Amino acid sequence: MANGNDKSLESWIWDAACSIRGAKDAPKFKDYILPLIFTKRLCDVFDDELNRIAKEVGSRAKAFKLVKRDKKLVRFYLPLQPANPDDAVWSVVRTLADKIGEQLTTHLRAIADENALLKGIIDRVDFNATTHGVRDIDDSRLSNLIERISEKRLGLGDVEADIIGRSYEYLIRKFAEGGGQSAGEFYTPGEVGEVMALIMDPEPGMTVYDPTCGSAGLLIKCELALEAKMALRSRKSFAPLKLYGQESTPTTWAMANMNMIIHDMEGEIEIGDTFRHPKFRKGNRLQTFDRAVANPMWNQTEFTEKDYDADELDRFPKGAGFPGNKADWGWVQHILASLGDTGRAAIVLDTGAASRGSGNANTNKERDVRRWFVEQDLIEGVIYLPENLFYNTTAPGIILLLNKSKAKERKGKLFLLNAATEFAKGDPKNYLPADAITRIADTFKAWNEVEKYSRIVTRDEIAKNEFSISPSRYIHTGAGEEYRLIAEIVEELEELEEESEVTKKALKKVLKALAA
């Protein structure tokens, strides 16, 4: 992964990001840094394409004229031409000396104007922006950042798409590490994405959907899993996946598009609130896909029964009911409605979504929706993840696997896997080592029962446990149990507090009526 000197591309890209105000503040400037590195890649690739054409027509000057007349000769046409046509296209940016923020913003907007695919992606940031009259990133720091980015060439002959893609993903992960609570909105740990992609096991030409795509990492992982599988089959030519995503935050939507392009992948990423306004439709129904991967925000409370009632897309079956005041199972219902007849999905959820309401003598809406999914035999299995993997919480999560066409021998059963202890200590977060990723995915795909690790359970057993589908309820791992207990006891306490409030209000009403 070295390029130009001994420093790896990942180290260089992070050092460049830190050149603004150091590692601690770098995440605050991600919306400036990511488009600039992306533009450097565009410039260097454009140079490579110009050089290829120049070999045929005799000079770079002629190549510039030819490409300007026929912009389809290149993937992205950049309206940046140095005074000396033999100079690198990036030199137009590198030699900016005054009003750098203003001129840089103008250049990036000009690039977007020439390329419909880049509109709203690299032109949404104003490098000259101020807050209370003070520049957000002044020209001296901007100049320093440009100079650091200039240290390495990112052309086709310098760095392959998968390497620059991995490095870009690394940068996004580093921003997530310092992003606090907001990090989970744009980044799912790469190892979790790898597990999901390996289990989804997509085939060439399949459609893959992520309704909460963040920076598109889960979609990209699916394409990379396909490419790795095709390499093992010695298949050099095959149809890539058709990738579809929706993201509600404009800056994250832009990040997703840049991430896809820099990985040399194509996809359709829409912007908007998927829950209330899903963009992928066919008539008065949702568009359906072969695979879905998602990590929706956990335990959202902003959606009310009115939101579910207002749905006109048949996403929330009457028999299942509404999931109550937490939207986890609402997202699962949306994803189910987005799957084709043989569709499969992998969804990251809070551990509480697997067990809330179980053991509760009263009616519990979330348990009732879970019960419906179990009785309809739509759940293939559940994987319990280690704690402290995710950037916006220390809590463990689960991966819920849906399958609309389970194999005959697997019908009426669920495969549960407790990977609570499958982690290595990291700073600031734990992570899944490569061997753990392989073990989890291989064990799940084979439905291989391993003592204190994985079990096949029947729907009857799930019903006896009040429709808890948490692997930690059925698989005892010794030391790993302490992770389960902390998370689940907190959930149970919150639930009891909510029930207590409801009971108090009801009792007050009765007492008032008696006193009247």
Residue where one domain finishes, among candidates 128, 152, 171: 171
Give per-residue pLDDT as tens, 138-191: 999 999 999 999 999 999 999 999 899 999 999 999 999 886 656 777 899 999
Average pLDDT over residues 205-216: 97
3-class secondary structure for 164-220? HHHHHHHHHHHHHHCCHHHHHHCCCCHHHHHHHHHHHCCCCCCEEEECCCCCCHHHH
CA distance 33 to 149: 10
Looking at the structure, do residues 269 and 313 belong to the same domain, yes or no?
A: yes
Q: Is pLDDT of 501 > 70?
A: no
pLDDT the model gives residue 208: 98
220 domain-assigned: yes
Q: Is pLDDT of 491 > 80?
A: no
Share of residues in the chain with pLDDT > 90 (%): 79
Looking at the structure, do residues 22 and 165 belong to the same domain, yes or no?
A: yes
pLDDT the model gives residue 5: 44
pLDDT-based confidence at residue 489 (cuts at 50, 70, 90) = low
pLDDT-based confidence at residue 6 (cuts at 50, 70, 90) = very low
Find where tokens 């808890």 sit: 468
> How many domains does the chain contain in total?
2
CA distance 88 to 110: 18
Residue where one domain finishes, among candidates 171, 196, 222: 171
pLDDT-based confidence at residue 490 (cuts at 50, 70, 90) = low
CA distance 228 to 290: 19
Give per-residue pLDDT as tens, 287-344: 999 999 999 999 999 888 888 988 999 999 888 888 888 999 999 999 999 999 999 9
Looking at the structure, do residues 155 and 284 belong to the same domain, yes or no?
A: no
Looking at the structure, do residues 201 and 86 belong to the same domain, yes or no?
A: no
Measuring CA to CA, which residue among 309, 227, 312, 211 is closest to residue 264? 227
Token digits of residue 226? 């396909």
Looking at the structure, do residues 214 and 303 belong to the same domain, yes or no?
A: yes
302 domain-assigned: yes
500 domain-assigned: no
Q: What is the CATH number of the domain that holds 453?
A: 3.40.50.150
Token digits of residue 386? 């280690």
DSSP string across 470-504 = -HHHH---GGGHHHHHHHHHHHHHHHHHHHHHHHH
Looking at the structure, do residues 388 and 320 belong to the same domain, yes or no?
A: yes
Q: pLDDT averaged over the chain?
A: 91
438 domain-assigned: no
pLDDT-based confidence at residue 480 (cuts at 50, 70, 90) = very low
Looking at the structure, do residues 284 and 239 belong to the same domain, yes or no?
A: yes
CA distance 80 to 180: 37
The radius of gyration computed from the CA coordinates of the chain, to the nearest angstrom, equals: 26
Top-confidence residue, 96 or 307? 96
pLDDT the model gives residue 481: 45
Give helix then strand counts, H and E, for the chain.
17, 13
User: CB atoms < 10 A from the CB of 507, how many?
Assistant: 10
pLDDT the model gives residue 364: 84
pLDDT the model gives residue 307: 86
165 domain-assigned: yes
pLDDT the model gives residue 476: 81
512 domain-assigned: no
507 domain-assigned: no
Q: What is the CATH number of the domain that holds 120?
A: 1.20.1260.30
The pairs formed by 426-431 with CB atoms below 8 angstroms and a separation of 24 or more are 428/177, 429/177, 429/189, 429/388, 429/389, 429/390, 429/391, 430/386, 430/387, 430/388, 430/389, 431/189, 431/191, 431/389
pLDDT the model gives residue 455: 97
> Which amino acid makes up residue 36?
L
pLDDT the model gives residue 199: 98
505 domain-assigned: no
pLDDT-based confidence at residue 380 (cuts at 50, 70, 90) = very high
Stated pTM of the model:
0.90
DSSP annotation of 411 reads: T
> Which amino acid makes up residue 39?
T
Residue where one domain finishes, among candidates 142, 171, 200: 171
Token digits of residue 404? 């609309």
Range with the lowest mean pLDDT among 88-92, 243-247, 364-368?
364-368
User: CB atoms < 10 A from the CB of 157, how many?
Assistant: 10
Looking at the structure, do residues 258 and 363 belong to the same domain, yes or no?
A: yes
Measuring CA to CA, which residue among 404, 385, 294, 275 is closest to residue 348? 294
Looking at the structure, do residues 183 and 152 belong to the same domain, yes or no?
A: no
Q: Which domain holds residue 253?
A: 179-411+446-459
User: CB atoms < 10 A from the CB of 143, how many?
Assistant: 16
CA distance 488 to 486: 6
Q: Is pLDDT of 349 > 90?
A: yes
Looking at the structure, do residues 192 and 166 belong to the same domain, yes or no?
A: no
pLDDT the model gives residue 273: 95
pLDDT the model gives residue 413: 98
Q: Is pLDDT of 499 > 80?
A: no
